Amino acid sequence: MAWSGRKVGVTGAEGFIGSHLVERLVAEGAEVRAFVWYNSFSRWGWLETPHVPKDVLAAVELFPGDIRDPVRVRQALAGCDTVFHLASLIAIPYSYVAPDSYVQTNVCGALNVLNACRDAGVARLVHTSTSEVYGTARRVPIDESHPLQGQSPYSASKIGADVLAESYHRAFGLPVVTVRPFNTYGPRQSARAVIPTILSQLLGGASQVRLGALAPTRDFTFVEDTVDGFLRAAGCDRALGQVVNVGSGKEISIGELARLLIEVSGRTAEIATEAGRLRPEASEVERLCCDASRAADWMGWTPRVPLREGLERTCRWVAAHPEAFKADVYNV
């Protein structure tokens, strides 16, 4: 799909994946309107230097607002040809203590985007899901027909948003594609995710890496590959009204991942489970492993960055940005 001259809206543009997507779109020649969370400090997350080059930022129209505000969302997406919806609350532990905010942001926010895109007559909306909606795998690898299981308020809110997106395609013909990334990682990811949590502790000199459950497995994809999946999904007519998984098809336990990161970082540390980091027993997702054959067949997408290479690149970034992490604080 050619992006040069296209007017593209990105919600959640200041976030981890969103900021990488904005960079890629600018590099492809798109005219990007970045919908970022309004705050009185005029801080736009990762969409600031030195994280994003000045020439990239100069090409982006920053549009501050709140995804929960339907009027502001309509203003942000008016005139856009293509929209990528990434704005969500994503930290699972925080969803246990503030579930209302997840419904307001993830469900009502998605509804605002769907209505705004319908009003604007967009050519394509790419809606962001998550592998957490599958819950603990009933079968592996997990394809798009796997049952959805709301094992946390976060995953339940994302299921609600996904079903809304499907309904708007069926009821109103909205040209929406739902991309379901498995565990994306890489530079700019916050310490609420497991890989930055481990690396920030190791690079901060910890002799003990404190984690939650060590046995669950996850399927990790480097952020550049995930962004490529988003762009390919936007140009895939066959995916309209459908869900497309984006993942590596390889799983690794959290304990094994921690040992690999100890090796990659060149540090020495013990690995310990901390009770306060454990999910409620019935809420823990024990196994995730992606079947991305639909993405390969429909969009020609396959991940390119091997796990070890991606971890090495992420380790170098975390080491260069100690100010981005509080290694001694558990980030929910």
Question: Looking at the DSSP assignment, which residues form a beta bridge with residue 221?
Answer: 184
Domain boundaries, given as residue ranges, for the chain: 7-185+221-250+289-304
- Identify whether the C-beta of residue 120 lies closer than 8 Å to the C-beta of residue 45: no
Q: Do 84 and 129 form a contact (C-beta atoms < 8 A)?
A: no
All residues at 6 or more sequence positions from 245 whose CB lies less than 8 Å from its CB, including other chains: 131, 142, 143, 144, 180, 182, 290, 291, 292, 294, 295
pTM: 0.97
CB atoms within 10 A of CB 136: 14
Structure confidence at residue 323 (pLDDT) = 87
Superfamily of domain 7-185+221-250+289-304: NAD(P)-binding Rossmann-like Domain (3.40.50.720)
- Rounded CA-CA distance 255/286 in Å is 13
Q: Over its length of 332 residues, how does the chain's per-residue pLDDT go in tens digits?
A: 899 999 999 999 999 999 999 999 999 999 999 999 999 999 999 999 999 999 999 999 999 999 999 999 999 999 999 999 999 999 999 999 999 999 999 999 999 999 999 999 999 999 999 999 999 999 999 999 999 999 999 999 999 999 999 999 999 999 999 999 999 999 999 988 999 999 999 999 999 999 999 999 999 999 999 999 999 999 999 999 999 999 999 999 999 999 999 999 999 999 999 999 999 999 999 999 999 999 999 999 999 999 999 999 999 999 999 888 876 777 66
